[in-house]
Structure 1
Amino acid sequence: MFHFICKALIHHRAIDSKTTHVRFLQTIPCLNSISNTSTTTDPKSLTVSYLVNSCGLSSETALSASKMVAIESTERPDKVLELLRTFGFTKTHIIRLISKHPPLILVNPEKILRPKIEFFESLGITGPDLPKILCSNKQILLSSLKNQIIPTFDFLRGFVKTNENLICALKQSTRVVRCNIQKVMEPNILTLRAHGVPERNIARLIVLQPQSLMLRIDLFKEVASSIREMGFEPMSRSFILAIRSMSMISKTKWEKKKKLFLDCGWSEDEFFLAFKVQPLCMLCSEKKIRELMEFFVNKVGLKPSDAAKCPNLFLTSLERRLIPRCSVLQVLISKGLIKKDVNIVWVLNSTKEKFENKFVKPYKEDAPEVIKAYQSKIGFQGFNVHWKIGTKKKEA
């Protein structure tokens, strides 16, 4: 008898396929269906159904979200979605935002959301950047505009001066919106001043990576002292780049990356020299360090010490820059169009414009293969050349 009732109930629902709630309830076991009250008044059913059909969440995500939010009426959620779409939020943005913080679907859109969105718009954040930034950190739309967001941005603007710089800082780390300025950022800035770092460089650090100044106060002091002991000049730009680098990774990761460079053939002196020349090389992942070092030594034919002299190379892309350039040289050398004593480090580190003007454009007629090589349509097999690495570039 029970089986018959369930079967009949499912059949009855299948007939009215135009009703959203009915379609959703077909997935609920028969026992729940006959033991609860009418389907249209079930908050959890409405919540999951709305999150799936109106917000675009998956059934699994919607079911999980229903534990944090209960939609009893669609009036307010509809207004929230309407407001978000008005400001350019796409379906993907809405899914990301509501998935991260489901209760946002029930906030007052005019009192809570609109003022904050309009504030960020007034800074000059428009177009796709607006929803992208606001969706990247759920805390932005949850923070108090009056007590948190505006005071934080006023403080930062005092250093970076322009809204353009403010936007750059925000794009680097949206976490800055929730930073406790008085208890964290101000003390860390005082530490930089105590070391003699000029205001312009503090401003530069905020623009480049404001998260660096959100490190725990005692750890930040330790980082600043360590960098000073390494010989970095506080007045120099490299000092704040070193701050940025060391403050973004833990001591454990720092030591692991240092050991990796040493295992690849660098001496202690070469490691510290490379770090002083380009502090950001320590922000590379261990995987990228291994791949690049293997490429430089086994494919290009450089010595590990050669790579240490130009650590900027570790900030470049293997696929987009290094391999295409080496492929071009491979073609030109094979055809005898350039000498084999070209300074390969200079070639790999030069700007896009300089490289193209030197090694691509002049040879398009005599060796059209350089275009294919530059477009990565010709594989790079590796050089069989002994490179002479000097302090100055050699002309091809």
Structure 2
Amino acid sequence: MFASICRRRLLGTHQILGSGGGTDPLRIILGTFPFTHTYSSSAVADVPNSEPCPATVSYLISCGLSPAGAAVTATSKKIRILSTDNADAVRSLLRDHGFDDDDIVRTVRSAPTILLADPERVILPKIQFFASLGFEPRKLATAPLLLTRSLDEHLVPSIQFLRGVIGSEDDLRLGFCRAPRALLADVEENMRPVVEALRRCGFTDAAISELLVTQMGMLLTSPDRISEVFEQLKAIGMCISDPRFMHCFREMCRLKKDAWLRKLALYQSFGLSESEVLEIFKAQPMILQFGNKNMEKKVRFLLDELKLGTSVIIAHPEILCSGLNECILPRCAVLCVLMREGKIQGGIEMVEALLVDSSVFSERYVLSHADDVPDVVKAYEGEIRFEGFR
């Protein structure tokens, strides 16, 4: 009954959204859904001690968690499932709205307390709210606590604020799709202070809109960190008018200061000077997205196995953004097979072969030799591993 009423009211909301009238559809949505956070006490209760409840662990395993993961979740989140009826209803509701098994595992692992929520009174209105805005409900699996946040006190004010900053509904949806967790930020405690900090740094409203669309998670960054990053970029010779500034600023804001210093130290350990590392960062700021162990393994391979030298990396920093297992190793395996069969010479321009577009590499080194050297296909698909050039 409730679901049918919500569907009828949502239909009216969609009509208003598309009508171009002056009425704010969010105000109509506010009158549509109940906002209480009612939880089913018969479904879940606080765990009185640190020992996980066997029945709770068993249920979490049935949700797709590993036995060890289920035990850790039950203990760390301090929940005890006394009745599975409510929890089953929650899972069923999520599936009905596009959540697949992996989404449910992700949801339950990060926010098992969602199994407490009344599916009809608490979860369904939030799913329908996001759907009415054109947001894909299953994206909420990465930030499931949004399904228990108050519509009138949190979600609607957040959307209204972001509309005023971002402007375009399509851009708002795109930003949400990239970082749903950003909507966990509070308007007055997080969102507004972040936007004000960006303005103090000199970002225009258009630049702030672009920044939030590409990285809405910025709303969870502290204003102090934003100012600190801005000053760090100025200190290394970058100004806000530099086309690279936005990209560098965005990537640095993902890191805490000590993490940034550890990355600088890592690159210097390869024999690069601090100024060389900073030039690489300016040219290819995405290198900050890779974990230190991942990057160390990649650079060591380039230096020790391929003998490229640091000067090559400085000249072609984009090579650091290529996946070692996904791109570099399969290509090296192909080249190794072709050298063994005498199809190419050892003096091949290695960097060009590693950086060329995948379709070009496939045509030039795989498809053109597939008939007379079938092993190139196996090498490209990972069936023949690269074991070094001999």
State if a TM-score over 0.5 links the two structures: yes
> Where does residue 248 of structure 1 map in the other structure?
254
Q: Is the CA contact 2:181–2:217 (under 8 Å) kept in the aligned structure 1?
A: yes
Verify: 1:86 aligned to 2:92, yes or no.
no
Could you report, residue by residue, the CA deviation over 1:140-162 in whole angstroms, capped at 9, with x for unpaired residues?
11211222222323333445455
The structure with more radius of gyration:
1
Which amino acid in the other structure matches residue 143 of structure 1? R
Corresponding position of 2:121: 111
Gap runs ≥5 in structure 2: 1-41, 46-52
1:121 aligns with 2:127: no
TM-score (structure 1 length as normaliser): 0.72
Q: How far 1:102 sits from its partner (Å)?
A: 4.9
1:363 corresponds to: 369
- How much has 1:363 moved relative to structure 2? 2.7
Is the CA contact (8 Å cut-off) linking 2:114 and 2:144 kept in structure 1? Answer: no
Task: Give the structure 1 partner of residue 270 of structure 2.
Answer: 264
Cα pair 1:48 1:66 within 8 Å, conserved = no
Q: Secondary structure at the match of 2:62?
A: coil
1:186 pairs with 2:185: no
Instruction: Give the match's secondary structure for 1:326.
Output: helix
Q: What's 2:351 paired with?
A: 345
* SS at structure 2 position matched to 1:124: coil
**3-state SS of 1:294 partner:** helix
Whole-Å separation in 2 of the counterparts to 1:196 and 1:139:
34
- Alignment correspondent of 1:23: none
Is this contact kept in 1: 2:111–2:144, CA < 8 A? yes
Rounded Cα–Cα distance in structure 1 between residues aligned with 2:102 and 2:366: 41
Distance 2:256 2:229 in 1: 11
Q: Cα deviation per residue 1:102-158 (whole Å; 9 max; x = unaligned)?
A: 5533433333211110122233344xxx33x32322421121122222232333344
- The range that moved more, 234-243 or 286-295, is 234-243
Alignment partner, residue 14 of structure 2: none
**One-letter identity of the residue aligned with 2:117:** V
Other-structure match for 1:311: 317
Q: Secondary structure at the match of 1:379?
A: coil
Residue by residue over 1:199-222, the C-alpha shift from the partner in whole angstroms, topping out at 9 and shown as x without a partner, is 444333223322234221122101
Deviations 1:298-326 (A, max 9, x none): 21120022112222222221111001112
1:264-301 CA deviation, whole Å, 9 max, x = no partner?
11122211110110112123211112111111012112
Deviations 1:60-84 (A, max 9, x none): 579759964675x777556545433
Cα 1:69–1:340 shift into 2, 3 Å: closer
Aligned equivalent of 2:231, options 225, 233, 238 = 225
1:363-384 deviation line (CA, Å, top 9, x unaligned): 3344333222212222323346
Q: Percent identity?
A: 28
Amino acid at match of 1:218: D
Letter in 1 for 2:160: D
User: Does the 8 Å CA contact 2:330/2:381 hold for their aligned counterparts?
Assistant: yes
Match of 2:218 among 212, 220, 226: 212
Unaligned residue ranges in structure 1 (runs of 5+): 1-40, 385-396
Q: Could you tell me how far apart the structure 2 residues matched to 1:186 and 1:276 are?
A: 29
Are 1:235 and 2:245 an aligned pair? no
Which piece of structure 1 moves more, 243-252 or 291-300?
A: 243-252
> For residues 75 and 300 of structure 1, do their structure 2 counterparts lie closer, same or farther at Cα, with a shift above 3 Å needed?
closer
User: Which residue is 1:298 aligned to?
Assistant: 304
TM-score by length of structure 2 reads 0.73
Q: Residue in 2 aligned with 1:19?
A: none
Residue 332 (structure 2) aligns with: 326
Letter in 1 for 2:275: D
- How far apart, CA to CA, are the structure 1 residues paired with 2:335 and 2:60? 55
* Letter paired with 2:276: E
Contact 1:257 1:282 survives alignment (8 Å): yes
Mapped to 1, the partners of 2:271 and 2:76 lie a distance apart of 51
Residue type of the partner of 1:332? L
CA distance in 1 between counterparts of 2:90 and 2:304 reads: 57
Contact 2:271 2:310 in 1 (8 A): yes
Instruction: Specify whether residues 330 and 183 from structure 1 end up closer, same or farther in structure 2 by C-alpha distance, changes over 3 A only.
Output: same
Kept in 2: contact 1:191–1:221 (CA 8 A): yes
- Compare 282-291 and 368-377 and name the one that shifted more: 368-377
- Give the Cα separation in 1 of the matches to 2:309 and 2:73: 55
User: What is the one-letter code of the residue matched to 2:311?
Assistant: S
User: Aligned-pair distance for 1:261?
Assistant: 1.0
CA 1:340–1:243 in structure 2 vs 1: closer, same or farther (change >3 Å)?
Answer: same
Which stretch has the larger CA shift, 75-84 or 203-212? 75-84
How many Å apart are 1:239 and its aligned residue?
1.3
Count of aligned pairs between the two proteins? 337
- Pick 1 or 2: higher relative contact order, CA cutoff 8 A, min separation 6: 2
Q: Summarize the Cα distance change of 1:103–1:214 in structure 2 as closer, same or farther, 3 Å threshold.
A: closer
Residue 130 of structure 2: SS of its match in structure 1?
helix
Distance across 2 between alignment mates of 1:143 and 1:342: 58
Code of the aligned partner of 2:118: N
Letter in 1 for 2:153: N
Asked whether 1:376 is paired with 2:382, we answer yes
Question: What is the CA–CA distance in structure 1 between the aligned matches of 2:214 and 2:77, rounded to whole Å?
Answer: 39
Residues 44, 115 of structure 2: 8 Å contact kept: no
User: Contact 1:242/1:279 (CA < 8 Å) preserved in 2?
Assistant: yes
Query: Quick one: structure 1 residues 229 and 188, their matched pair in 2 at CA, closer, same or farther if it must change by over 3 Å?
Result: farther
Structure 1 pair 142/262, CA: closer, same or farther in 2 (3 Å)? same
* Residues in 2 aligned to 1:143 and 1:336: alpha-carbon distance in whole angstroms: 64
